[in-house]
Amino acid sequence: MAQDRRPAGRSVRRTGGERKPREERWAQLLDVATQVFYEKGYDGASLQDIADRLGMLKGSLYYYIQSKEDLLFEVISDVHREGYAVVRTAAEPPGDPLDRLERTIRAHVVHECRHLVPTAVFLHELASLPADRRESVLGSGHVYQGVFRDLVAEAQQQGLVRPEVDPRIAGLSILGSTNWVYRWFSADGPSTPEQIGEQLAAMAIHGVATPEAVRSRVPVGRAAS
């Protein structure tokens, strides 16, 4: 899904010859800021650090943002928007709710492993934003975790999840455990992102599904062994 990476509220009135370079510069600014925040932390990073990395004057950054907080907000928003698009797409039909939950967990883990730096900045620095700006990123209904919660609830309504399971707690548990992957995943490690996603999805499904639903998901050849 293509994302509009313009800074919020900026004018889009540009000539055809200058629009693309400025949009590319904005995308580069987000990428560099993400890397600097990752390396130095939000408190330790400065706009001068980011300008130096870009090879531009610090004053030129103010064409795009008004403060370092604005830049963090844009980085956090961009990471959240891209990640949410991944899980939202994975959660759509076809498949029953458990199939879609499994697919969504796997997609989330693979995306996280392949975008470790942005994920780390999002999870480490979200609390650096004022509460109102955090809320504007996450949404009043915490829509990201809501994808997992709603799939569990839908599966429960269809008799696929045990009745004692609280969908809200299950959704938080699934999202929390999968988010933690960024702390220990290594591209040089023994497991690929796909393998990790498959394992975590299987554990999550077994943790909430009814025994009947679990048995029905086991391949026939394996069930007979």
**For range 144-154, the mean pLDDT:** 94
| In a shared domain, residues 51 and 152 | no
Domain count for the chain: 2
pLDDT at 142: 62
| In a shared domain, residues 131 and 218 | yes
Would you call 215 exposed, middle or buried from its count of C-beta atoms within 10 A (0-12, 13-18, 19+)? exposed
pTM, entire model: 0.83
Query: Mean pLDDT of all residues in the chain?
Result: 87
| In a shared domain, residues 212 and 134 | yes
In the structure, what pLDDT confidence band is assigned to residue 218 with cuts at 50, 70 and 90? low
pLDDT digits (tens, 9 = 90+) for 93-145: 999 999 999 999 999 999 999 999 999 999 999 999 999 999 888 875 467 88
**For range 48-69, the mean pLDDT:** 94
| In a shared domain, residues 24 and 52 | yes
| In a shared domain, residues 83 and 23 | no
| In a shared domain, residues 161 and 203 | yes
